[in-house]
Amino acid sequence: MKRRKFIKGMAAAGLAGGLTMGGGGLVGMAKAAKKADIGQCKSLKVTCVSETSWFDSPTMLKDIKDAGGAMVSHYEIPWTQENIGGYSALIEVELLDGTRKKILLDPGWRQDWMDYVFAKSGVDKMLDNREIDMLVLSHEHEDHYWALKSVLKHHQDIPLVFPNTFYPEGKLLMEGKYKNDLAKVENDIPHTGERVELGPNDLYNPYPGVAVKMFDIPILLRVRGEQNLFFNVKDKGVVAVTGCCHQGVLTMLNWARRNIDGFKPYGVYGGLHIAAFENWDPKFDDIIQGVKGFGLRKVGCNHCTGWIWASKARAQGVPIVCGTERYREYKTLPTTGKGAPENVYLRNGDVIEF
């Protein structure tokens, strides 16, 4: 984490001011700039370590409903353990000078599932060998964050980037001081490495062509704030990589259009939180039109996007990249998309390159 920029004061109207952080290696932004110059990278590869946060949506919905609904804290729900997996993505970036960086987006949810998928994808060894440069936490939701211990047991001091809106339970989990027998979440391994906490006016630019942007938004199950990564790939354009994308895919892309210097839309990977439980709402058609308007070249989606949305978007010309059958090798299979004629998700074990 040597070459990096931490851009403070990114207001809607542009950069309010630059900042040089203490501790070495942090470089401020030019004060006069209207948009953020995040630099460029050469290429980007994303591996779906696991997109199956839960295996069966009706069971997930029932857990939430039985506990009192979506306004109940996720720390107060007795989740059906056999339905739980987790979300995690391995991001490999090649910089213009040929250096390669690895970023893990989210540790996932149930520890034994994440231990299994980390072993299957080789992420466990990469963590042991200090090959993964940083862990980015998209948001505090159970399915993205609660298996933090599955990462820390391999690399306790991994540099960590997270939104500054975590609740006390989430902070205790990071400190290795949290155990909750009702929701079944625990961690007794304190994170000991460097932490970068992002607020809504910050843009973190750890390497040329790589940025993390936090959106301060309210999210169901008493979570606040989500961040996603942007990559500016030379000769291609900007690729957004997300966890759940509770900020909304259009909000995310519009932010990039307004704030990233030289923005050219190119791709998206991740959960897009549209028809998360396969429900339909006419406004989802409008999201299809909005996404089409960006003229993206590659859209790899999964998790909370909604199979129904991905199918409809593909039928209407959004360049959805279909997954392989590799996910069938995993020990638990999702019920989502069962029997569908084509695989509109990038599923467990799939890879997309930008």
Q: How far is the CB of 239 from Fe ion (least distance, A)?
A: 19
Q: Does 244 bind Fe ion (CB under 5 A)?
A: yes
Please identify, using beta-carbon distances, which residue of 159 and 163 lies nearer to Fe ion: 163
Please identify, using beta-carbon distances, which residue of 74 and 101 lies nearer to Fe ion: 74
Q: How far is the CB of 225 from Fe ion (least distance, A)?
A: 11
Q: How far is the CB of 144 from Fe ion (least distance, A)?
A: 6
Give the C-alpha separation, 333 to 345, whole Å.
Answer: 13
Give the C-alpha separation, 3 to 251, whole Å.
Answer: 29
Give the C-alpha separation, 250 to 165, whole Å.
Answer: 22
Binding mask 189-228 for Fe ion (x = CB under 5 A): ----------------------------------------
Please identify, using beta-carbon distances, which residue of 26 and 77 lies nearer to Fe ion: 77
Residue with tokens 């606040």: 224
| 141, 213, 312, 314: residue in contact with Fe ion (rule CB under 5 A) | 141
Dihedrals φ, ψ of 303, to 5°? 55, -115
Binding mask 168-187 for Fe ion (x = CB under 5 A): --------------------
Tell me the C-alpha to C-alpha distance, in Å, between residue 183 and each of 191, 253, 260: 21, 34, 39
CB 156 within 8 A of CB 189: yes
Q: Does 101 bind Fe ion (CB under 5 A)?
A: no
Minimal CA–CA distance to 321: which of 276, 286, 353?
353
Please identify, using beta-carbon distances, which residue of 88 and 232 lies nearer to Fe ion: 88
Half-sphere exposure of 298 (CA within 13 A, CB side): 22
Q: Does 64 bind Fe ion (CB under 5 A)?
A: no
- E strand spans, 17-71: 26-27, 41-50
Please identify, using beta-carbon distances, which residue of 7 and 275 lies nearer to Fe ion: 275
Residue with tokens 């391994």: 189
| 92, 124, 143, 202: residue in contact with Fe ion (rule CB under 5 A) | 143
Cβ neighbourhood burial of 197 (10 Å; 0-12, 13-18, 19+): middle
Q: How far is the CB of 257 from Fe ion (least distance, A)?
A: 24
Q: Which stretch binds Fe ion (CB under 5 A): 56-64, 228-236, 237-245, 278-286?
A: 237-245
Site size for Fe ion (CB under 5 A) = 4
Q: Which residue is nearest to Fe ion (CB)?
A: 244
C-alpha 299: how far from chain center: 15
- Residues that bind Fe ion in the complex, under the rule CB under 5 A: 141, 143, 244, 304
